Amino acid sequence: MRVKSHSDLLGGLTLFAIAAGSIMALSDLPSGTTGAMGPAYLPRAFAAGLGVIGIGQSVYAFMRNGPPVGNVPLRPIIMVLVALGVFAAGIERLGLLLSSFALLAIASAALPGRLEASSILRILIVSAVGSAAAALLFVVAFGLPMPAFPRL
């Protein structure tokens, strides 16, 4: 037995995991009957369908060659997640100016390639300009209800 298609296996297992997780999360809700459906009737059916396809895809992965997954660079994913996470954590207390500066600066590091001192300086300048523009545009001009500056 050799895995012939890693993408099918990974996809199949992911689907199966989502389905299994959903069915577990639904475990204490009633299904009801077909004539009088309970809250879990259809979600269970959807999850069951998803799980069957997940198993099917996983089995299929041993039988037929599929496209390779290709390399998944982790850096952009992590950087984008961190950038948005910091933004979300900061927006209410630190205000739009600082949190968007953080988002822009962190996200700029998501591009592959080594960060030289000169490019770091450039990133900081561009991020500062960008966050000032964002604060002016969204808080001052559009009047969105979010603070621009840190709440002391």
Which residues of this chain interact with other proteins, rule CB under 8 A? 7, 10-11, 14-15, 18-19, 22, 25-26, 29, 33-40, 42-43, 46-47, 49-50, 53-54, 56-57, 67, 69-70, 72-73, 76-77, 80-81, 83-85, 87-89, 91-92, 96, 100, 103-104, 107-108, 110-112, 126-127, 130-131, 134, 138, 144-146
Q: Which two tokens stand for residue 11?
A: 């996809």
Tell me the closest approach of the beta carbon of residue 87 to other proteins, in angstroms: 5
Residues 6+ apart with CB under 8 A from 87: 99, 100, 102, 103
Give the residue with the Cβ less far from other proteins, 1 or 33.
Answer: 33
Give the residue with the Cβ less far from other proteins, 6 or 152.
Answer: 6
* Phi-psi sector, 3: left (phi>0), alpha (psi -120 to 50), beta: beta
Q: Which two tokens stand for residue 90?
A: 């900061």
Instruction: Tell me the helix, strand and coil percentages in the chain, rounded to 5.
Output: 65, 0, 35
Tell me the closest approach of the beta carbon of residue 89 to other proteins, in angstroms: 7
